[in-house]
Structure 1
Amino acid sequence: MLCKQLVIITGPCWRCRKFMKLAVTHVVGTGDYNGPDEFSKEELNMARDHGVFIKKQYSQTSKEIYELLPIAFNQKQVVEASAVVAVLGDLENIRMAEKIYGQAVDAGFMPADTAKSMVEHYTGMYSSMPPEAIRQIAYTDGGLVSMQLMLVTRAKGYDTVPIGGYDKQKFMEAFRISERYIPIMLVAIGKAAKPGHPTVRLAVDDVAFFNEMPKE
């Protein structure tokens, strides 16, 4: 027998983006989530008893939020954040080389013949690279982009949460992402409701070495 749960979360209104209590029902063991429009009378009463204001225009929220919640293993940041950015790696990024170098020429940063030479060089190099090497480049670049996004966001006065733990295959399927791309990371963006918990990191001497690796 399927077990259904009533899940109450704090999330943004679909229209005004103000945070409020939202209720969904979840069939345990599946990715099925339903909003108040499909609640039974008992479920509506239970939601109201727990502080959820059930009114049609206040009960709607983006369908993608509920799709992403189980994919992200129910990490609450994906529904509490003002936005969630999915950073993807482009396995066919070499196709953009001509456009990128063309923009450099238009901006006066390099001569046209230099740009042409660079495009030919990288196109030839990528054509002979094994798929795993291209994939590794995409992961490296995607990590740098993610960190830069978080730093810029912080500089603008907002907070971020990097989310690397999620079902990447289900994410690709749910959001109909082409196999040209690989998922790198989710970055939740918004204003922190409370300060983050303190953390510790390894000392520099534990991770940085000069000229040679330490003996095990």
Structure 2
Amino acid sequence: MPEKYTILSEIIHERKSVRKFDSSYTISREEIEEMLIEATEAPSSSNLQPWRFMVIQDEETRKRLKEFSYNQQQLDTASAIIAVIGDTEMYHNIDEIYQANFEAGYMDKANMENQISNAKALYPKAPVEARLNIAAFDAGLISMQLMLIAKAKGYDTVTMGGFDKQQFVKEFDLEDRYAPLVLIGVGKAAAPAYGSSRLPLEKIVTFI
């Protein structure tokens, strides 16, 4: 088995959801930025990258967040809470993204212009619900990638979907285009994560 796969497999199996972190441990802003930059290598629909992040470390902000997040203890103890936010108007970045792809040599001018034309014909006209679904799907991809990167660096994580999203929008004064999707706590575990079983393959896979 290739060494790279072995390492990846170990990271996947070691990553567990931790709910009690070492509150005395601090992850630097620089290291969080490094993890986020690496996480953005995740794929996204038409490469429009409809993810945005809010990194919450301030104690008072955590307290306010905890009030409408079912008082989950990891909000107190994680080194940082990363809110993953979907941009339902990702089409505003079409020109910037494809121009950057062209300038980096990833595509020629004709392909760039064709991709821009196709994206502009599709995304702005799509219903908001459809764009939210796209953003949520892509946010799931980058969230999982971020958690594996964190584990590879020796950190632990937990995802939290249990929070009042409307209150989050109000608290942080988000524009209508932005939808909070999930919170990710990251830090050093202070207690082991619970193990969890998985359904057998024959129950979830069909070969045709």
What TM-score, normalized by structure 2, do the two folds share? 0.71
Q: Does 1:144 align with 2:141?
A: yes
How many residues were matched structurally?
159
The amino acid that maps onto 2:121 is G
| CA distance in structure 2 between the partners assigned to 1:198 and 1:62 by the alignment | 30
Contact 2:26 2:187 in 1 (8 A): no
The aligned residue for residue 71 of structure 2 is 74
Cα distance in 1, alignment partners of residues 200 and 82 from structure 2: 31
Q: Deviations over 1:60-80 (max 9, x none)?
A: x62101111122110010110
Question: How much does 1:12 deviate?
Answer: 4.7
SS in 1 for 2:64: helix
Pick the structure with greater CA Rg.
Answer: 1
> Does the 8 Å CA contact 1:11/1:79 hold for their aligned counterparts?
no
Q: Percent identity?
A: 37
Alignment partner of 1:128 out of 113, 125, 143: 125
Higher relative strand content: 1
For structure 1, the residue ranges without an aligned partner over 5 or more in a row are 1-9, 19-60, 212-216
Residue aligned with 1:127, SS: coil
Structure with the higher helix share, 1 or 2: 2
TM-score of the superposition, structure 1-length normalised? Answer: 0.68
Distance, in Å, in 1 between the alignment partners of 2:69 and 2:201 is 32
User: Are positions 1:201 and 2:185 aligned together?
Assistant: no
CA–CA distance in 2 between the matches of 1:132 and 1:196? Answer: 35
Inter-partner Cα distance in structure 2 for 1:141 and 1:206 = 26
1:129 partner SS: coil
Q: Structure 2: any 5+ residue segments left out of the alignment?
A: 1-20, 28-57
Indicate conservation of the 8 Å contact 2:78/2:187, yes or no. Answer: yes
Please tell me whether residue 104 in structure 1 is matched to residue 101 in structure 2. Answer: yes
Larger relative contact order (CA 8 Å, sep ≥ 6): 2
Q: What RMSD, in angstroms, separates the aligned Cα atoms of the two structures?
A: 2.2
